[in-house]
Protein backbone atom coordinates (compact mmCIF):
# COMPACT_ATOMS: atom_id res chain seq x y z
CA UNK A 1 0.00 0.00 0.00
CA UNK A 2 1.25 3.47 -0.90
CA UNK A 3 -0.78 6.05 1.01
CA UNK A 4 -0.94 9.48 -0.59
CA UNK A 5 -0.39 12.29 1.90
CA UNK A 6 -1.27 15.10 -0.53
CA UNK A 7 -1.14 16.20 -4.16
CA UNK A 8 -0.02 19.63 -5.24
CA UNK A 9 1.17 21.22 -8.49
CA UNK A 10 0.89 17.87 -10.26
CA UNK A 11 3.09 16.06 -7.73
CA UNK A 12 1.91 13.14 -5.59
CA UNK A 13 3.54 12.98 -2.15
CA UNK A 14 3.30 9.51 -0.66
CA UNK A 15 4.91 6.78 1.39
CA UNK A 16 5.98 3.86 -0.78
CA UNK A 17 6.93 1.53 2.01
CA UNK A 18 9.00 1.41 5.12
CA UNK A 19 12.10 0.22 3.31
CA UNK A 20 14.15 2.33 5.70
CA UNK A 21 13.61 3.38 9.29
CA UNK A 22 14.46 6.98 8.48
CA UNK A 23 11.37 9.11 7.84
CA UNK A 24 11.06 10.03 4.16
CA UNK A 25 8.56 10.90 1.46
CA UNK A 26 8.40 9.79 -2.17
CA UNK A 27 7.18 12.14 -4.90
CA UNK A 28 6.07 11.26 -8.45
CA UNK A 29 4.75 13.03 -11.53
CA UNK A 30 4.89 12.37 -15.25
CA UNK A 31 7.13 9.32 -14.93
CA UNK A 32 9.65 11.10 -12.69
CA UNK A 33 10.30 10.12 -9.08
CA UNK A 34 12.29 11.43 -6.14
CA UNK A 35 12.68 10.76 -2.45
CA UNK A 36 13.43 13.21 0.34
CA UNK A 37 14.55 12.39 3.85
CA UNK A 38 12.49 14.31 6.40
CA UNK A 39 14.65 13.63 9.45
CA UNK A 40 17.12 14.44 10.82
CA UNK A 41 16.76 17.21 8.20
CA UNK A 42 15.09 17.66 4.83
CA UNK A 43 17.53 16.28 2.29
CA UNK A 44 17.37 14.78 -1.21
CA UNK A 45 17.78 11.00 -0.95
CA UNK A 46 17.27 9.89 -4.57
CA UNK A 47 16.25 11.42 -7.87
CA UNK A 48 15.00 9.77 -11.04
CA UNK A 49 14.74 12.20 -13.96
CA UNK A 50 13.64 15.43 -12.23
CA UNK A 51 15.56 18.50 -13.38
CA UNK A 52 17.05 20.71 -10.68
CA UNK A 53 14.37 23.42 -10.93
CA UNK A 54 11.64 20.85 -10.18
CA UNK A 55 13.65 19.40 -7.30
CA UNK A 56 13.80 22.88 -5.77
CA UNK A 57 10.03 23.26 -6.18
CA UNK A 58 9.41 19.83 -4.61
CA UNK A 59 11.77 20.56 -1.73
CA UNK A 60 9.90 23.81 -1.03
CA UNK A 61 6.61 21.89 -0.93
CA UNK A 62 8.20 19.37 1.46
CA UNK A 63 9.28 22.26 3.70
CA UNK A 64 5.80 23.82 3.62
CA UNK A 65 4.09 20.50 4.41
CA UNK A 66 6.79 19.16 6.74
CA UNK A 67 4.61 18.85 9.86
CA UNK A 68 1.82 17.20 7.88
CA UNK A 69 4.24 14.69 6.31
CA UNK A 70 5.89 13.72 9.60
CA UNK A 71 2.51 13.37 11.35
CA UNK A 72 1.17 11.21 8.49
CA UNK A 73 4.29 9.00 8.60
CA UNK A 74 3.93 8.47 12.35
CA UNK A 75 0.23 7.75 12.03
CA UNK A 76 0.74 5.28 9.18
CA UNK A 77 3.86 3.48 10.42
CA UNK A 78 3.62 4.16 14.16
CA UNK A 79 6.05 5.98 16.41
| Chain segment 20-77, per-residue pLDDT in tens | 889 999 999 999 999 999 999 999 999 999 999 999 999 999 999 999 999 999 999 8
Q: How many domains does the chain have?
A: 1
Is the bond leading into 40 cis (omega within 30 degrees of zero)? yes
Dihedral sign for Cα atoms in the order 13, 17, 1, 52:
positive
Query: What is the domain extent for residue 55?
Result: 4-77
pLDDT value of position 1: 65
Rg of the chain over Cα atoms, rounded to whole angstroms, equals 11
CA dist., res. 62 & res. 27, Å (int): 10
CB atoms within 10 A of CB 12: 15
pLDDT of 79 higher than 80: no
Amino acid sequence: MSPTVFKEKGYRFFFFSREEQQIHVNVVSSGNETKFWLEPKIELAKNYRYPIHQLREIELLVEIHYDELVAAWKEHFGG
